[in-house]
Amino acid sequence: MSPNRVASTLLSVLVAASGTTAAQVAGHPPSQRVTFERSITNLEYSARELRPLKPEGVTRVPRASGEIGYGTIVRRLPGEGARTTDHFVAFMVEHVLGVPARAWCDTNLDGDLTNDPPVSFSAYPGNENSRAFLADLHWIARRDGRDYPIAWKVRVVLEPGDGVGTPPIYRLQMVYAMLGTVTLDGKPHRAVLYDGSGDGLYSKDFFDGLFVDLDDDRHFDIDPMSPGFGPIGAPFQMGSGIYEVASIDPEGRELTLRETATVTPADPPRIGAPAPSFSFKDTAGREIRLSDYRGRYVVVLFWASWCGNFTSDIGALKALEMRYRPRGVAIVGISYDTDRQAMEAFRARERLTWPTSFSGRMFWEDPIGRLYQAKAAGTAYLVDPEGRLRGIDGYVEKLGARLAGIFPGASATSHRAVAHGTH
């Protein structure tokens, strides 16, 4: 499917979800040009555990006598896929008595942790045993025949574990980012560009996007499902508008933001409240509306053929579907696959018959996923006959127990977890 057709399909889903009419869409305001400047932001965008195993691509490490942990800074070259790790930047941390004592970072990007400039620690507020260091990374990113010099300054914050069950973690902060101001609903808000693909440039690639400080608290919630995130590669709803990034400078100096519709802002999913409404054309071309299931229970299931936990427990889910189908329970699937062929092959192999939405986008760009704030493949939202949200479950056994409480005559056996998601 072409990018233009994907964007058109996503826009129609967003408009349908909000109840916006075609007449409203036609009256959208003109585009706005937004400029950005490289500014100090200390944008924290990742928190992970230090791992004992050496990352792939590391060819040589220094000698150390303390407890060793490894971490990585996500970096890719333009055009590399979402699961490519070939050009990640590795670092190694030595702990002595549970406290970070020394660190080495592959700032020259050659895989050798012994020939880089020495790492200097500084204290970090919050924990007397926390440490931080700065990684200066420089490389050339090539796109469309042009070379772009990239300069990153990343702060790595090292938090010690408790020596019992909590391992040491590291948090990554982008010291500099592209900062600007966007106008939404007639009000200016600070905005920051986010290079989620990690290639140093901004484009319609996965996870590159725009974070907006909607509540003006001078804090950006770096969460792709937050109301303040707009993916560059797909239409998105923010406030009372549906927007798309019409163009963007690869270095992030400016973009053109176009409002394509005016909508009623959707409330986040909440137990007991009406489930967010949506409609879509499924993979067979049928028009599917959540409202069509009024009068019966429906499971809105977010899934993906690439999610190992989900695929390993698909049998348990199918058994659950068969058990409660006679009671009128239906499943509506929202696929987080980006490869339609892989998705269709999985459906055929497992003989899945429930209607499925396929946008072909990453989960944070899927309009129904964003509407439901579903961050994990395998998450199930149970909607009751009155159209209200009854439960949100990431496990087959929990969904089964919930249905068993509603239909006590059809008891469910114990099942393993579907997923807590890979994203």
Q: Mark which of 235, 263, 291 sits at the end of a domain.
A: 263
pLDDT of residue 135: 98
Q: Are residues 286 and 255 in the same domain?
A: no
Q: How far apart are the first and last CA of the chain?
A: 23
Mean pLDDT of the chain: 88
Q: Mark which of 263, 290, 308 sits at the end of a domain.
A: 263
- Choice between 82 and 180, residue whose per-residue pLDDT is larger: 180
- Backbone dihedral region for residue 97 (phi beyond 0: left; psi -120 to 50: alpha; all else: beta): left
Mean pLDDT over residues 356-361, rounded? 92
Q: Are residues 95 and 195 in the same domain?
A: yes
Cα(60)–Cα(111) distance, rounded to whole angstroms?
Answer: 7
| Three-class SS state of 164 | coil
Amino acid identity of residue 375, one-letter, is K
Q: Are residues 234 and 333 in the same domain?
A: no
Q: Are 210 and 229 in contact (CB under 8 A)?
A: yes
| pLDDT band, very low/low/confident/very high, at 419 (cuts 50, 70, 90) | very low
Mean pLDDT over residues 158-169, rounded? 83
pLDDT of residue 259: 94
Q: Find the domain containing 206 and state its range.
A: 31-263
pLDDT of residue 95: 95
pLDDT of residue 287: 96
| pLDDT band, very low/low/confident/very high, at 29 (cuts 50, 70, 90) | low
Q: Are 229 and 223 in contact (CB under 8 A)?
A: yes
Q: Point out the least confidently predicted range of 2-16, 61-75, 160-174.
A: 2-16
Alpha helices in 325-388 (DSSP H): 340-350, 367-372
pLDDT of residue 28: 53
Q: For a pLDDT cut of 70, what percent of the chain falls above it?
A: 90
Mean pLDDT over residues 196-206, rounded? 89
Mean pLDDT over residues 402-418, rounded? 66
> If you average pLDDT over each of 32-41, 159-168, 261-270, 406-415, which comes out highest?
32-41
Q: Please check the confidence at residue 168 and state whether its pLDDT lies above 60.
A: yes
Q: Are residues 52 and 158 in the same domain?
A: yes
Nearest Cα to Cα of residue 108 among 127, 131, 80, 136: 136
pLDDT of residue 362: 81
Whether residue 184 lies inside any domain: the answer is yes
> If you average pLDDT over each of 28-37, 83-92, 307-316, which comes out highest?
83-92
Contacts of 340 (CB under 8 A, 6+ apart): 1, 283, 358, 360
Whether residue 417 lies inside any domain: the answer is no
Q: Are 194 and 45 in contact (CB under 8 A)?
A: yes
Cα(267)–Cα(273) distance, rounded to whole angstroms?
Answer: 9
Q: How many domains does the chain have?
A: 2
Query: Would you mind telling me the total number of residues written for the chain in this entry?
Result: 423
| pLDDT band, very low/low/confident/very high, at 317 (cuts 50, 70, 90) | very high
- Burial environment of residue 348 by CB neighbours within 10 A (0 to 12, 13 to 18, 19 or more): exposed
| pLDDT band, very low/low/confident/very high, at 410 (cuts 50, 70, 90) | low
Q: Are residues 64 and 202 in the same domain?
A: yes
Rounded to 5°, the CA angle 417-382-321 comes to: 60
pLDDT of residue 414: 39
pLDDT of residue 289: 96
Beta strands in 86-145 (DSSP E): 89-96, 99-105, 122-123, 131-143
Phi, psi of 296 (to 5 degrees): -145, 165
Q: Are 375 and 422 in contact (CB under 8 A)?
A: no
Q: Are residues 60 and 188 in the same domain?
A: yes
Nearest Cα to Cα of residue 237 among 195, 278, 177, 181: 278
| Three-class SS state of 38 | strand
| pLDDT band, very low/low/confident/very high, at 204 (cuts 50, 70, 90) | confident
Mean pLDDT over residues 291-302, rounded? 96
pTM listed for this prediction: 0.79
Whether residue 63 lies inside any domain: the answer is yes
Q: Please check the confidence at residue 84 and state whether its pLDDT lies above 70.
A: yes
